[in-house]
Amino acid sequence: MAKVVTMGEIMLRLSTPGNEKFIQADEFDVNYGGGEANVAVSLANYGHDVEFVTAIPANPIGDCAVAALRKYNVGTKHISRSGDRLGIYFLETGSAMRASNVVYDRANSAIACATADKFDFDAIFEGAEWFHFTGITPAVSDLAAQVTEAACKAAKAHGVTVSVDLNFRKKLWSSEKAQKVMTNLMQYVDVCIGNEEDAEKVLGFKPGKTDVTSGELELAGYVDIFNQMVDKFGFKYVISSLRESYSASNNGWSACIMDGKTREFYHSKKYSISPIVDRVGGGDSFAAGLVCGLLDGKDMKGALEYAVAASALKHTIPGDFNLVTRADVENLAGGDGSGRVQR
């Protein structure tokens, strides 16, 4: 199995029980997660040698975050135990027509205050085959953006394939700031993942007339935008997950991919996910499935189908982490979505 490195922020997640609103909650369910940490856990579950790079404070809550990663066989030896606090996010899970809501409490978190000299990137990328990051980490702070670029430079110097999930977060930065920072980082990226909003807000592209709230997709628009992205940045692959949001509890889920060299375009099978248990981490499980598929030597169609199946399954699991096995993913990708008891 391959050595994979991911880097970003892991946070304490405090979510209301069931579908309660914040004002109703007398207690919170505790989980740990974050974009790149979620990807790391998925890839470790699939058997890859994964190292997660971040900064976590040296206190009992930081210890819990590290333990959450180690529980799922994610490597933690390159984590900098520094900074004063772990970022927190509060989650209110929506239902039917009521959307979910996230409140961040992550200002001045450990990773937001970390500097590049906290990490030995030469040691981190020694023997690595793949590096994954998201647009969330450079959005956290200017320092985090500098650390992200330092990691990308080191990855390329070591001949490591680099993937990014654009992951625009309007509560963290403006589209203008995102485009300035992320456009610069694209020079290091081989595989670019994002959805229609990410493409527009982070890189300035808009695919056709797609409206995620309408439940309709215009695939021809994605062919156009993918071609533009390959022309501008030279990506090996461009990928978008395609969420058709009928309600907070019922989504259509598929994806599309383009080979940057041949310009071949492929749209996956579509899953109808209802009821959704927890969609947080759905995009991360998709990215992990894609990385796993490509590292396994699957062609782009096979890798995409693996990614879509993996992320569809994540929507059925509470918490940030996708805890399914390779067999679970392969069964669904192969057509078994019955949900029957496995005896």
Q: Write the single-letter amino acid at 166.
A: L
Round to the nearest angstrom and report the end-to-end CA distance of the chain.
29
Query: Do 241 and 309 meet the contact criterion of CB atoms below 8 Å apart?
Result: no
DSSP 241: E
Share of the chain above pLDDT 90, in %: 88
- For 190-199, what is each residue's pLDDT tens digit? 999 998 789 9
286 domain residue, yes or no = yes
Q: CA gyration radius for the chain? A: 19
Confidence of residue 338 (pLDDT cuts 50, 70, 90): low
Confidence of residue 32 (pLDDT cuts 50, 70, 90): very high
- For 34-74, what is each residue's pLDDT tens digit? 999 999 999 999 999 999 999 999 999 999 999 999 999 99
339 domain residue, yes or no = no
333 domain residue, yes or no = no
CA neighbours closer than 13 Å in the CB half-sphere of residue 115: 1
342 domain residue, yes or no = no
Number of domains the chain contains: 1
Q: What CATH number should be reported for the domain holding residue 189? A: 3.40.1190.20
150 domain residue, yes or no = yes
Query: Do 137 and 9 meet the contact criterion of CB atoms below 8 Å apart?
Result: yes
d(CA 36, CA 285): 10
Confidence of residue 219 (pLDDT cuts 50, 70, 90): confident
Q: Dihedrals φ, ψ of 255, to 5°?
A: -160, 165
Q: Which domain holds residue 220?
A: 3-326
Query: Do 283 and 241 meet the contact criterion of CB atoms below 8 Å apart?
Result: yes
337 domain residue, yes or no = no
Indicate if the pLDDT at residue 207 is higher than 80.
no
Query: How crowded is residue 23: how many other Cβ atoms within 10 Å of its Cβ?
Result: 7
**How does strand 237-247 pair with strand 250-259?**
antiparallel
Query: Do 289 and 253 meet the contact criterion of CB atoms below 8 Å apart?
Result: no
Q: Tell me the residue ranges of DSSP E strands in the chain.
A: 3-7, 11-15, 29-33, 49-53, 55-56, 80-81, 88-92, 101-105, 130-134, 161-165, 191-193, 237-247, 250-259, 265-267, 271-273
DSSP 216: B
50 domain residue, yes or no = yes
119 domain residue, yes or no = yes
Query: Do 133 and 6 meet the contact criterion of CB atoms below 8 Å apart?
Result: yes
- For 110-160, what is each residue's pLDDT tens digit? 999 999 999 999 999 999 999 999 999 999 999 999 999 999 999 999 999
